[in-house]
Amino acid sequence: QRRVHGVFNEQCKCSVMFLSLRLVRSSARLLTRRSIAAPLTQVRLQHKMNTEELKSRLTPQQYQVVCGRGTERAFTGAYWDNHKKGQYDCISCHSPLFTSEAKFDSGTGWPSFFQPVSSESVREIVDSSHGMRRVEVVCSKCEGHLGHVFDDGPRPTGMRYCINSASLDFKPSDS
């Protein structure tokens, strides 16, 4: 039960239940649609890069997100409100992942994209952690954790790749 200023807040409880139900329904639709379109990996992957090298090169938060499958708090990452033109690369292996042309403001507090640079740049994996089924997004080259993908994005794809800023390295374009 949630209490606000010592009083039980029924509206807060309903909002949390509604958002949880909405996330479960959205994930179920995504899993159904995506599993028909392309098979998803159902195993957890280990990061392919050298652990000691990554620990020395990445910040503790970047390491936790990329190697520990963590999530940064909403509205705290470096790129959630970035409007500059350029490319977003993997913080671990520097592979191109997303472009600013595919970025949009989802209102979630994380950088959101409607598509990756190419279908080969990221992999999607069924994530059954935290008592729900979601689709995790990892870098295809190093298998570092990036975030999750949902089917509530804008056209043309209808997808929302919700990515942690800590897993990205932004390279501004020359123009």
Q: Taking Cα atoms as reference points, which of 146, 163, 171, 147 lies closest to residue 103? A: 163
Distance (Å, whole) CA 61 – CA 73: 11
Q: Locate tokens 């990445």: which residue?
A: 58
Which residue is catalytic, options 67, 139, 142, 162? 162
12 included as an active-site residue: no
Quickly list DSSP for 45-98.
Answer: PPP-S-HHHHHHHS-HHHHHHHHH---PPTT-SSSTT----EEEEETTT--EEE
Which residues are known catalytic residues? 162
